[in-house]
Amino acid sequence: MRRFVIGTRGSRLALRQTAIVRDALTAIHPGVHIDVLEIRTAGDVSKAPLSEIGGAGVFTGAIEEALLDGRIDIAVHSLKDLPPRDTDGLLLAAIPARADARDALVTRSGATLANLMAGARVGTGSARRAAQLQLLRPDLVPVDIRGNVDTRIRKVDAGEYDAAVLALAGLERLGLAGRAAQVFSPDEMVPAVGQGCLAVQVRAADRDARALAEPIDDPPTRASAACERAFLARLGAGCRLPVGAYATVEESTLRARAMIAVRDTIAVEEAKGAAGDAARIGAALAEALIARAGAGVVSAEP
């Protein structure tokens, strides 16, 4: 029987996410042999702010290269780290059921956002989170923070930051959900595209790997992800603004909410429709926000 190799980042969260995928695969395919190869990405090597080293693909490029050259057969990513269009020769064979997509506030004392002192320093590496935080509390000071989940929590506990905003899904997967002093609703803080989703990527021509991975795909999650990724793809490389999108599917109906922050204003659009029209709905949300953001702010090209 063929042995498969999964490639992943080496952080504790990435390895936990890979274990989730591997366990799901072996439950469906008893006896299959799956090894794990840890790969360092540009985002792992650099300590510079993400805004300086570039966001799209910084945590996934090296893993995709290993997949294309055959060192690995399957890649496991956080979907939000992947660019919104598939890399040539690769495809997403499975997007398993989504974890909680919301953002969470971590503080030393358990204080909520309302109870933080004026001028509190809140760590986040996300311009999207920073913009929405300042809408909720204009007196707070978002400060760039790097490092894995454990590192960011340690920095809060050590007093380097008064708080930090992290993905709730990551906290839950590491057994740290109890550190969330507050969980923001998608109305308060629109999540990042793909937040809470895992992506199982294979070579398009590798039929065995596709057959292995496809049974763990979750159709409602895939439809939600298709909407969100179409939104981001339509904004294009010219988008220089903090953006977020979140879609859900219930009984074949998709509902989506998206945002763009422009200077001191956050524009939000909502839409709903058939889950089968997910990509169209996402692109239409982008068109609506492009119109509101103004010419030249985002790419006008599809």
**DSSP run (H or E) holding 168:** helix 168-173
130 contacts 242 by C-beta, under 8 angstroms: yes
**DSSP run (H or E) holding 5:** strand 3-8
Q: Are strands 265-274 and 253-262 parallel, antiparallel or unpaired?
A: antiparallel
CA distance 256 to 248: 7
- Which positions are annotated as active-site residues? 81
Cβ burial 76-105 (10 Å sphere, 16+ → b, else e): bbbbbbbbbeebeebebbbbbebbbbbbbb
Hey, what are 141's tokens? 């000071």
Q: Are strands 121-123 and 141-143 parallel, antiparallel or unpaired?
A: parallel
